Chain A
Amino acid sequence: MAEDTKEDTQQQQKQGERSVPRPQFTDAEAGALTFPSSESRSFNYFEPAKMRATTYEDVTVDVQPDPSRHLTQGWIYGFAKGPGGYPAEWTELKSSDWHVFLDPNEEWERTIYRNNANVVRQIQYNLDNAKSEKAFDRWNGAWVTFVERHVGAWMHIEHGLGMHAFVRAQRDAPTNMINNAISVNGMHKLRFAQDLVLYNLELDDQIEEFDGKAHQEIWDSGSEWQPVREVVENITAIPDWAKVVFVANVIFEPLVGELFRSGLVMQLAAPHGDFVTPTIMGAGEADYDRDLKYTRELYSMLTGDETHADHNKATLNEWLGEWTPRVLDAARQLQPLWSQSEAKTVRFEDSLEQARARFAGILDDLGLETPQEVK
């Protein structure tokens, strides 16, 4: 270190203060002078979807470079067996321009935190209310068991898909827009899983006979849940990012996710005097609605692709053929849960029928054939 530098420091210490930079008038403000490009105040390397780019587009588009756009020196790190970066070949689906996809939810920093913070605040508020009204006192023993076991089991699905399907898939897609949408989806799942497990903790505190550990045993060995678990684990084992998102959001969510959350829990809770569980489950339903928006946008872009529509439809139909029977079979194995309830407000077949209709509707929107099994 230079000697005079030490002196400077000593001098400062002697004086007991450090000098501070003086502000200067620079007039470096927009409009102070006119010159070429002095009014060039929009990002000009991409074509916005509408006349003016949205904040979402500005903060998202082209942040992940692409050799087919502006990247000239190519990816500078590679894997041992193949190129680095974000090769389009990491999915079987093809696009004439992956960059066309924009997240209809326009998720970026502010929306992500605002939305999820609102959800956790709302849940906390509902829980506080329920406690002050002693709402849990109204629950009967059978319902307590149902919630501790089956609502409990569900948290594992959200967590597993969040961590090992969505968080993983967001590494792989060829654009920042797609990867960000998938990572937000992953956070929804992880947050919802935590919402459920912390709800479980709260119930454990509030209800004497509530067994806060029962969910683990049910998830590990409860016969109704094992087929679902097998499906979930197999989804996390899919290496193709677009297949992971498709199987999870287009097949699994309507046929099992909504079937359980809306088709069962939301229906049974009220007749059992439970007005709290639906608000928690509702958060998961709202997440899925939000995530389904980007999912529809993405896959309808692919099925409507000017050159690859046929290839994509064939591939997606193949995935449907491979996965629909497995997922549907797992859904059917959940049937005993419907008969465990004393309140026969809803029949399994009705709930499943609704789930099938929802599934068929999504496929229709995407221009895909509804598989034989669900017709």
Chain B
Amino acid sequence: MGRQSLKKSHEKIQELSWDPQYATPADKYTTDYTFEKAPKKDPLKQVLRSYFPMEEEKDDRVYGAMDGAIRGNMFRQVQERWMEWQKLFLSIIPFPEISAARAMPLAIGAVPNPEIHNGLAVQMIDEVRHSTIQMNLKRLYMNHYIDPAGFDLTEKGFSNCYAGTIGRQFGEAFITGDALTAANIYLTIVAETAFTNTLFVAMPSEAAANGDYLLPTVFHSVQSDESRHISNGYSILLMALANEDNRQLLERDLRYAWWNNHAVVDAAIGTFIEYGTKDRRKDRPSYAEMWRRWIYDDYYRSYLAPLEKYGLVIPHDLVEEAWNRIWNKGYVHEVAQFFATGWPANYWRIDGMTDEDFEWFEHKYPGWYDKYGKWWENYNRLRHPNGHGPIAFEDVDYQYPHRCWSCMVPCLIREDTVMDEVDGQVRTYCSETCHWTDAVAFRPTYQGRETPSMGRLTGKREWETLYHNEDLADIMTDLGYVRDDGKTLVPQPHLDLDDPKKLWTLDDVRGYPFPSPNVLLNEMSPDEREAHMEEYRRGGPGGRPAKETADA
């Protein structure tokens, strides 16, 4: 910035805003929160005159690195195990980014504070940047990685795969419902402040360990915009706290947003980092260790807990329970196993685990082999088509799970599963909190108080319902996860591309009807249902069905 100091410029641009005298902006996006207009500073002093050239320079570095990676034949060193999971990750993430851009007017409308508005508008265009830079990275992968299948159908896969739908919450939740719940608590206070740490810090270092240094370049560049977003959100939170009437809603929203982010992000990123890597150095931190450091210590203890003195009710119990799910209940392992079980409904290939992986898991998560080892041995045994079905249809001591109506990750920690009739439908939930999210939080009243702006959970939330009892081959055809020979599947439960006989085709998955657990559950009589659920809850870990004789 020239001779005018940034401070002076920033003060001056505050003169741009004005209070309407004739008509107020349309308030399409309502909130049940109340804000009083109070001076609130933008500590980061964002001025577009310096912002645009700064970002342009960051772009130049990213694109320089991309050219360099191609010239340096980066893909000769990239691990396929890792890159395959990028087909899922990079199909999801541009949508949350662009949704964050779309969320900004919700926050601008809710908060009557012009200085904050400026920061939010800058965030809007940052997010357009993030979305398109990530799409471009994915295009580069498609062009230069050995197996483009799955990258080539990316946004379609995101739109019609159950895994894309799980990820879509981390996006739709920013732009829908109560404006403040969505654009501030869910998006900024929880998603950006807590969970982008794992997305944008943990993911890149794991990528680098797997030979990919472009993902780190792009994501560090994205992350460098993030501190401004976090600062926007923090200012709004402090303003919300200033009004006592908001505290009940803040408590509700923090519980919902924390738990949903944990359920969704830890499922995905945990799987990528633990099961998508070839880096099995014993001193490489596990996802649990990273989580403990970045989410528990840095976010929960250093950022969130100090807000208690301003009257914020912190969901201590849910933070501890999220950790408990990760550390004691095997959340990430259960999810990775589920993804691998469902491989023939995916659009990426999933490598099996080897002895070296087993050793690492046992070292990092003592007791891992007893729970999951046998299943992964079966996964390897069944990896090539040889007259048997995909692993989900073979007897490997695994019960296909019910799905959580709220977070849409299956109910994998079987003993925690909750069943309830809500809105005239019998639904299952992975946890008490997910049940509360649907039955209590996303409703027009909350604890006796009117919450007319609160959103709703909608849509065909159990993916399996769409294809109840249809043949797997027909489902795959309908999804479009078929390669350009018209018969070989995009997904494969291994990485072997050297021999066409090892690749599964539509013929290999024909004759397997795929039932919807939720449809079946609703068809049962109430007694059957209770018995079924009692047995389901006795199942696990590792998806094992309950032993025949209950101790009851």
Contact = CB atoms under 8 A, between A and B. Distances in A.
B159 A62 contact: yes
A88 to B, nearest CB: 15
A44 interface: yes
A222 interface: no
A18 B282 CA distance: 11
Interface in A91-121: 108-110, 112-114, 116-117, 119-121
> Interface extent on B, as a size class?
35 or more
Contacts of A164: 25, 108
**Of residues B29, B49, B289, which shows the largest number of chain A Cβ atoms within 10 Å of its Cβ?**
B49
B455 A36 contact: no
A36 B488 contact: yes
Interface string A187-230: 10011011101101110010000001101100110000000011
Interface string A59-71: 1111111000111
B75 A62 contact: no
A124 B456 contact: no
B452 to A, nearest CB: 6
B155 A38 contact: no
Interface in B144-194: 144-149, 152-156, 158-160, 165, 168-169, 172-173, 175-177
A80 B454 contact: yes
Contacts of B522: none
B165 A70 contact: no
Interface in A291-332: none
Interface in B38-60: 47-49, 52-53, 55-56, 59
B28 to A, nearest CB: 5
A340 to B, nearest CB: 23
B121 to A, nearest CB: 5
A28 B25 contact: no
B28 A21 contact: no
Given A76-B169, A120-B52, A37 B211 contact: no
A336 interface: no
A74 B459 CA distance: 5
A372 interface: no
A239 B28 contact: yes
B488 A62 contact: no
A79 B177 contact: yes
A220 B48 contact: no
A238 B427 CA distance: 40
Interface in B458-510: 458-461, 463, 466, 480, 483-485, 487-488, 490, 497-498, 500, 503
Contacts of B279: 21
Contacts of B78: 26, 28
Contacts of B139: 43, 55, 58-59
A9 B154 contact: no
A26 B77 contact: yes
A183 B278 CA distance: 41
11 contacts: A8-B282, A11-B283, A30-B144, A37-B488, A70-B160, A76-B457, A164-B25, A167-B108, A230-B23, A234-B23, A239-B28
Interface of A: 1-2, 4-5, 8-9, 11-12, 18-19, 21, 23-33, 35-46, 55, 58-65, 69-80, 83-85, 108-110, 112-114, 116-117, 119-121, 123-124, 127-128, 155-156, 159-160, 162-164, 167-168, 170-172, 176, 179-180, 183-184, 186-187, 190-191, 193-195, 197-198, 200-202, 205, 212-213, 215-216, 219-220, 229-230, 233-234, 236-239
Given A2-B365, A26-B76, 4 more contacts: A19-B281, A65-B159, A160-B18, A219-B18
